[in-house]
Amino acid sequence: MENPSLNYLQNLANGNDQFKSKIIQLLIDELPQEFERYNQAMDSKNYFWASEIVHKIKHKIAFFQMEKSYRITEDHENSLREGKLKYQVEFIEIITKILNFLPNCKN
């Protein structure tokens, strides 16, 4: 599985460490909350709601330049809309990897 990268953020920040820190903090704040809502949707078997949350998360995955993970997440989003859980395990692995990566980005 590919690893998250901050290269896009580095280019976007163009040396502005304050901007970079704000974006990282935003990701640290938002992603766990979105993942929690995703789990609530999955627990209630509301797969359409889960797909909407996955759609939001998908853009964060793109931010980390995880192309394969982005495609899996997109497939998961579409699969959920059909009531299928085909990519569930892979999606959880992707989010877990990012959540474990984020705390190390605050430096």
Express each pLDDT in 80-89 by its tens digit.
999 999 999 9
| Average pLDDT of the residues in 49-57 | 97
Domain count, the chain: 1
**Structural domain includes residue 2:** no
CB-count burial class (<10 Å; 0-12, 13-18, 19+) for 107: exposed
The structure's pTM equals: 0.91
Q: CB-based contacts of 76: which residues, under 8 Å, 6+ apart?
A: 54, 86, 87, 88, 90, 91
| Average pLDDT of the residues in 10-35 | 94
**Structural domain includes residue 89:** yes
- Residue range of the domain that includes 38: 7-105
**Cβ proximity of 66 and 2 under 8 Å:** yes
CATH number where 95 lies: 1.20.120
**Cβ proximity of 78 and 54 under 8 Å:** no
**Structural domain includes residue 1:** no
